[in-house]
Amino acid sequence: MKIETDNETYKKFKERIAEIMPEINVNLITEDNMLRKLGFVDFVPCTIELQATKEQLEELYGMCIQFEIDVFNTPDGKYPSKNDSYYLKYLRYTWIADWLRENKLYATYYSIFLWRNKYDN
């Protein structure tokens, strides 16, 4: 699937995906540095290709959400330490879940998640 984004997000996304789900391929198709040089935009727009199955995207989304759950699910209910390994994973990876949501790549997993929570109570 092809996605429009900016070059910085592409680089960050590609790096983070390689760390947690190397089976997902993220490739740069095009970028237009000239738009930034001419002053039309403040970033370098680009098109990337994401080679992943729906199941892989669902797993990735779930993994990123779990990082957020793990960091704030503390026995004492306190905010985690900034050096805590769960907190560092939270900072490094949870933005991916937001990015997937913004690009409408999460719908299946997220819909199931909402549905299960609605009827589990």
pLDDT digit string, tens, across residues 84-108: 888 999 999 999 988 888 877 765 4
Distance of CA 30 to the CA centre of its chain: 21
Question: Which parts of the chain have pLDDT scores under 70?
Answer: 106-121
Question: What is the structure's pLDDT at 38?
Answer: 87
Question: What is the structure's pLDDT at 88?
Answer: 93
Question: What is the structure's pLDDT at 113?
Answer: 53
CA distance 2 to 22: 18
Q: Which amino acid is at 55?
A: E
Question: What is the structure's pLDDT at 80?
Answer: 84
> Half-sphere exposure of residue 36, counting CA atoms within 13 Å on the CB side?
11
pTM above 0.85, yes or no: no
Question: What is the structure's pLDDT at 115?
Answer: 44
